[in-house]
Structure 1
C-alpha cells in the first residue's frame, strides 16, 4: 500500500516540475522582449561609498509614454531629499573617521559604513514604496543598483528602472 502512495506522489511531483519549467520558459520569453532598463546616475559633487549626494532629475526619453515627467521628478526629488538629510552627516563622520584612522587602526570608519548602509536601506525602502504606490501599476520597477563607473574602476549606486513584462491575460491557464 505504501508503494502505491509513493508512486502517486512521484507522479504529482513530476507534473509540478513540468508546470514550473513551462512557467519559467514563459517568463524568460517575456523578459527577452522587454526593453533595456533605464539608468539614472548620480549627478552630485560628493560621493560617499559609491552613493552620490543627488540623482539626475532630467526626464529620460526612454520613459516617454510610460510615466509622466512630473511623477518622475517627484520620485527623484523624494530620493534626493532623503540623500540631502543623511549624506551631510555621513560626510562629517567620514572626515572625523579619516582624521582618527591612524589612532584607531581603522575602527573609526565603522560609523560611516553603518550610516551609509542605513542611507542605502532607506532609499531602497522609499523605492519599494514608490513601486507599490505607482510604478508597478505602470509595469515599471525602480531599484538601487551597484554598477561600475563609466570613467574609472570605482563602483557607484544608480537607480535602475526596469520594464516589467505585461502578462498576457488571454492565454489559457
Structure 2
C-alpha cells in the first residue's frame, strides 16, 4: 500500500516540474521590463521626489496614457506628502549626528522605509485594480544609477506572460 502512495506522489511531482518548465518558457519570451526612473531634484536614500509622467514608448498600445499618468500622479502625490518630512528629519539628523553618535539618523531611516512600504502598497493596489488585467506588473525596484555608482529606486513595469488558454489541463 505504501508503494502505491509513493508512485502517485512521484507522478504529481513530475507534473509540477512540467508546469514550472512551461512557466519558465513563457517568462523567457516576455519582453524586457520598462524602467521609470525618478526625475525629481531631491533624492533621499535613493528615492526621488518625483517620477516622470510621460508614457514610455514600450507601453504604447498596452496602457492608456491617461491611466498611466493617473497612476504616476498617485505615486508622486504619495512622495509629495512624505519626502519633505524625510528631508527635514535628515537635516536634523545630520546636524545632531556628532552628538548622538549617529542615532539621530534612525528616524529618517524608518521614515524612508515607511515611504517605500506605502509606495509598494500603492503599486500593489494599482496592479490589482488595473495592471494585472493588462498583463503588466508594477513594482518598486532598487537599481544602480547610470551616471554614478549609487543605488536608486525605480518603478519597474514587467510584462506578465499570457496564459495559453488552448492548452489542455
Alpha carbons of 1:8 and 1:82: their partners in 2 closer, same or farther (altered >3 Å)?
A: closer
Return the TM-score normalized by structure 2: 0.94
Distance 1:152 1:92, change over 3 A: same
Change (3 A) 1:140 1:92: same
The answer for the alignment partner of 1:160 in structure 2 is 156
What is the deviation of 1:21? Answer: 1.1
Structure 2: stretches of 5+ with no match in the other structure: none
Cα displacement (A) at 1:134 = 0.2
User: Would you say how many aligned residue pairs link Structure 1 and Structure 2?
Assistant: 169
Q: 1:151-172, CA deviations, whole angstroms, 9 ceiling, x for partnerless residues?
A: 0000000000000010010011
Please name the residue that 2:168 is paired with: 172
Change (3 A) 1:13 1:25: closer
CA–CA distance in structure 2, aligned partners of residues 106 and 172 of structure 1: 60
Q: CA RMSD in A?
A: 1.6
- Partner Cα separation in structure 2 for residue 139 and residue 114 of structure 1: 33
| Partner Cα separation in structure 1 for residue 165 and residue 9 of structure 2 | 31
Say which of 12, 32, 35 aligns to 1:36.
32
Structure 1 outlier segments of 4+, above 3 Å: 1-15
**Shift of residue 10 of structure 1?**
5.6
